[in-house]
Structure 1
Amino acid sequence: MYVIYIRDGRKGEFLKAIRFEDVEKYHSGQYLMAVAVGFLSVYAGIKALCGDEAPERKDISILSGHGGPGFRDAFEYVTRAASRGALTVDVNYPVAQYDPHRAQSYAFVFSLTDGRSVEVSLKEGFLPLEFYDLLEKGRAGTRTEADEERLDDLKKELCDRALSMPLDDLLAVKRLS
């Protein structure tokens, strides 16, 4: 299982080991797919930037192409980027725009204060068209109770799938600087 190591404290003196289960407890449980993909994206971003070294929370900023609560909670729990003012959302970010109904990117840029940055994006095909259609029904106010139950099941299925598949099959990582 994946573990994110991060340093916290005034001088980075506290080493934290964060697992998906920790983030899942922090989150309400309604957006499990996003929590899983968000957690794995942070893991992949930190690994690409720092290797086996644990970065300091205060050194990480995030540009997120998705503003949803599952991604936000994953980023906040691990990095505290939202509460530190180091999280920016740009749904028009031009990578991983898969939703046929609206602008929404599944790409995330992780940057360190030393200038290094990487882009982590969800690979095309992970989220089925049914997922986007159910979200669109919710925005239109036409989602039925059966649709709600199917969406809940689908989010859980996608969460489990993301956590069990090889990271390279789920995410693309590109060094930006």
Structure 2
Amino acid sequence: MHYQTTIVLLLAALALIAGAYAYSAGPAAPDNTMTASPGPANPLAAIIVSDNGVQAKISIGDVTAYHAKMEAEEDGTMVPGQPEIDPCCAWMYRSLSAGIRALWGDEIPQRSDISVASYLPSCGALHTGWYVTGTGPGMDSATADRFILLRPDGTELTDTSHAARSIIAKNRNADSYRIVLTRISTGESVTVALKEEAFPDRFFALFTKVKNDPAVTKEEVAEFNTVKNAFRDNLVQKPDEDLVIIQR
């Protein structure tokens, strides 16, 4: 009996010590990563900003046309009559839309109050970011906000030439599909990323193969085009809550 009593007292003492330690350590840090709140019924609803007191509605068609124009100027080719939605345009558009809702809610942001940093320096991402923020060539910069590109280590990529951007863009991974959006007036920021299920199977393996391997086969190119289109369809069709992660 004495032995059993000793064991009980010892266990009670250990429980008290553990409880005291847990209290002194404080509560666990909250997880600030969350699925985006449900967005509009139309996943590609217009992004609305206040541009010098005038509401500007920016559509996916606007950014697609701007991207096609910028690529044609860079390549020295004609602008296609009906340009298709580029996956990177769709990704940046959806990310900006979700990030603006996370920071401004139902308010319409001043264009000059938005700051965006993108980890993906692809042409589609850059041109879409330029257009929405008003910072690109041919845009009225009087009320433009801020848009920059980031290297994988988080430092700014100041050389926005195609050659400099391609080195990073060709070696992308899921973490590359992130933007940091800041409300300049308050200093509040959110990081907007994609859920893993947004990427079709073998997307990155095939992307790397097609972009970097001279020995890529026709079959692999065809398979990549299929998964690339599936990725674009996810970005165009899926609701925010199935697509986007918001981290504060």
With the shorter chain as reference, the TM-score category is: 0.7 to 0.9
3-state SS in 1 of match to 2:233: helix
Q: More helix by proportion, 1 or 2?
A: 2
Query: Match of 2:184?
Result: 113
State the Cα distance separating 1:109 from its structure 2 match: 0.5
- Structure 2 contact 129–147 (Cα < 8 Å) conserved: no
Larger Rg: 2
- Structure 1 contact 67–91 (Cα < 8 Å) conserved: no
Cα distance in 1 for partners of 2:64, 2:48 equals 17
Cα distance in 2 for partners of 1:40, 1:34 equals 10
2:153 to 85, 88, 92: 92
Q: Verify: 1:153 aligned to 2:200, yes or no.
A: no
- Structure 2 contact 47–97 (Cα < 8 Å) conserved: yes
Q: Deviations over 1:60-90 (max 9, x none)?
A: 1112121111211221111134666631323
Residues 1:65 and 1:126: Cα distance change in structure 2 (over 3 Å): same
3-state SS in 2 of match to 1:54: coil
TM-score in terms of structure 2 length = 0.59
Query: Aligned pair count?
Result: 167
Query: Match of 2:245?
Result: 172
Residues 1:71 and 1:165: Cα distance change in structure 2 (over 3 Å): same
1:6 to 39, 49, 52: 49
Residues 1:51 and 1:59: Cα distance change in structure 2 (over 3 Å): same
3-state SS in 2 of match to 1:70: helix
The root-mean-square deviation of aligned C-alpha atoms, in Å, is 2.7
Q: Verify: 1:26 aligned to 2:66, yes or no.
A: yes
Structure 1: where are the runs of 5+ without partners? 94-98
TM-score in terms of structure 1 length = 0.79
Structure 2: where are the runs of 5+ without partners? 1-43, 69-82, 138-144, 155-169
